[in-house]
Structure 1
């Protein structure tokens, strides 16, 4: 009986001590959280490092600020160190990215964590003694495991850029490089489309004469900035990086060689004809062959559009419009049709299609610029014609 009482008393004593220890630990974490939060907000990252480290080690689930501020603190340490010390901080930031998802999974998508680590490895490739293949594999893991959340502009460009570098080093085939271009391009098109849909809501509100609230104006500016970054910086940079590796002289033999193997693969056919059209290879018989095959197995607005480009027949314009249901994709097709007609000098019809594109995507102002350019050219032509028709009296 006495032994049982002693054990019970000892258990109770240990329980009380553990409770007090936990309270002390919580209090210590709260104090240090307040300290490093204040320092970090003032950008005094060296002062923040000590108390931040205590909270991270003792209370890793305590507050998400551990990971939000922690990234800034360690980035500062990396920037202001060299050699083995710098490598240690880089590896610690890699670990912190993993821990952020481990302890706050709902706040950190898998792709975000993997891309952050890949971006870090890419930036400090030399210091970490990593090869292009190793860093590419890190980006590829993010794409393979969580493509829908792979939206980081810098990461997407670096991923593709490494694919080109590996192609140049003969470690990826031309087809693999083009596939990666298309993979990344499709992600970017999805991001642009998603932000355009959100942006158009505000554009419609403004067109109706309503004033946007301060918050709405900020969101509108954010969507515009995001779209602009991808459309005017990332996509052109990708095309510049691809450069002469994607000329007609390269593409035609490649697609000729792989046609029989892929003639029933709708994705391959779509990408091949898109690439040939984008690079000005539409005059080659292979382009028609690709389009006709795609139209045979999977008729779509795209194939109808390309058939119009090839034949100039009105029925394919009608088919293009009838097969296109998504408003943004339809707006893009209208712009494509307008550009083809503009190139042929059919300004009146081109203007009609530019206006249709504007109705479907009011936040895209580029049709206005094209219409203005047509008016300017028409005006110049009229002036020239007038000058030619006026008799000269010398």
Structure 2
């Protein structure tokens, strides 16, 4: 229920003029009083006039809900004796906001606020929390953007599964839905960052653009943290030992469901279960009913597992050619690059990683993969120890780019860049080399050059 209040006071006079005759005059007076107190954060003094307006004229102005949240949160924190009363009032504020001001407050936002309030104050069991968040997510996913709520939604489901109250398939379905939502949000944030990052480097951002860029990076970091927590919560539930019997059990019933087959095959591929016969059944069934970029990709994984690398690459290339979605194409190219890296084919891996970036310039994972490939090649490039260690500066550059274009990788990219720089020539080595400010060219697959820092 966090909304901008900067223009609210200019609107209060208009509200007074327009509704003065129709509304309880005491409501208008108390609206002005509590708003003035709240403006200077004197929430204790704002409480009673706010309470009068909320109870008697709940549809007067959205300030009653925007400031009501702040007033009640202050009272909850600072008046322990009456805390239960304030919590109930805040819950009512959350519930009534969409009823009276549907253009400002969403159903998902309301249900999320209620669920988090109950969670933070130990007022609900997992079943109730999950029910609230499940309804919010399924009925109003577009407005389900709160990272904490996303984690709580999935976490309570896993806890319910562990207690024998939810089946494993629902856990996987919800995992796919939530991580898909996080990916969608990150894509939007990445578009914002790509739009402004060059202007940021050039120092030509307007104040409005700078705020948009800052907010995109902050939100991206939040999604990065929550995404890692969700993966950790899923943990061993998604290993081959659990996946295979689950899919064997459901295969006959769902072998005509392309979405289910695609998700099951994708999860088995991601978890390295491609050697099992169940993976073969899933892939063949998917390709039979819906030959697509996904089915060709999984066939590639199948033949790679069998050691038929050439045939596998043929299917991977078919998959790339068939894929029309730039984000999915980038993901597939990145996966192929990762497989090539595992085979020790650094140049091939680099080539596919750069293709992934061509499809989606905001794919930070591709930059991170390139950085690791470069770092792993340090001993293969350069004729002196100094030149070999200089490779790590190039690796650090790639890692930093990951954080610049992908808000979800800010922290991990910064840590990787710092680690690579720690393996590059030290200040004393730079001084002794006499190469300050000079460029070092790499005559290996890495190509390009780096400039030695000046001391």
Please, what TM-score do these two structures have when normalized by structure 1? Answer: 0.83
Partner of residue 296, structure 1: 288
> What pairs with 1:1-394 in structure 2 (closer than 5 Å)?
23=21, 28-82=26-80, 85-125=82-122, 128=123, 130-203=124-197, 211-230=204-223, 232-311=224-303, 312=309, 313=311, 314-381=313-380
Q: 1:226 to 1:50 in 2, by over 3 A?
A: same
In structure 2, list runs of 5 or more residues that go unmatched. 1-18, 304-308, 386-455
**Deviations for 1:162-215, whole angstroms, at most 9, x for unmatched residues?**
0011111111112222222222222222222233333333347679x7933221
Report the alpha carbon displacement of residue 71 of structure 1 after superposing the two structures with TM: 0.8
Q: TM-score, normalised by structure 2?
A: 0.73
Report the Cα distance in structure 1 between the residues aligned to 2:195 and 2:289, rounded to whole angstroms.
36
CA contact (8 A) 1:200 1:361 kept: no
C-alpha change, 1:24 and 1:255, in structure 2 (3 Å) is: closer
Q: Which has the larger radius of gyration?
A: 1
The range that moved more, 54-63 or 245-254, is 54-63
**What is the Cα deviation at residue 114 of structure 1?**
1.2
How many angstroms apart in 2 are the aligned matches of 1:378 and 1:328?
Answer: 29
Which stretches of structure 1, 4 residues or longer, exceed 6 Å deviation after superposition? Answer: 204-207
The superposition leaves residues 101-144 of structure 1 with CA deviations (integer Å, 9 ceiling, x where unpaired) of 1111111121111111111122223xx3x321122111122123
> Structure 1 residues 131 and 210 mapped into 2: Cα distance closer, same or farther (>3 Å)?
closer
Count matched residues.
360
CA contact (8 A) 1:160 1:180 kept: yes
Structure 1 residues 170 and 365, CA gap change in structure 2 (3 angstroms): closer
- Cα offsets for 1:313-341 (capped at 9, x unmatched): 33212212112112222222221121111
| 8 A contact 1:133–1:166 mirrored in 2 | yes
- Cα deviation per residue 1:63-121 (whole Å; 9 max; x = unaligned)? 211111111111222233447x3222222111111221111111112111111111112
Equivalent position SS for 1:107: coil
CA contact 2:240–2:268 (8 Å) conserved in 1? yes
Deviating more after overlay: 271-280 vs 132-141 = 271-280
Q: Secondary structure at the match of 2:377?
A: helix
Comparing both chains, which one has the higher relative contact order based on Cα–Cα distances under 8 Å and sequence gaps of 6 or more? 2
Cα RMSD (Å): 2.7
Q: Secondary structure at the match of 1:105?
A: coil
Paired with 2:41 and 2:268, the residues of 1 have a C-alpha distance of: 51
Segments of structure 1 that go 5 or more residues without pairing to the other structure are 1-20, 387-394
- Post-superposition offset of 1:245: 2.1
Of stretches 142-151 and 166-175 in structure 1, the one that deviates more from structure 2 is 142-151
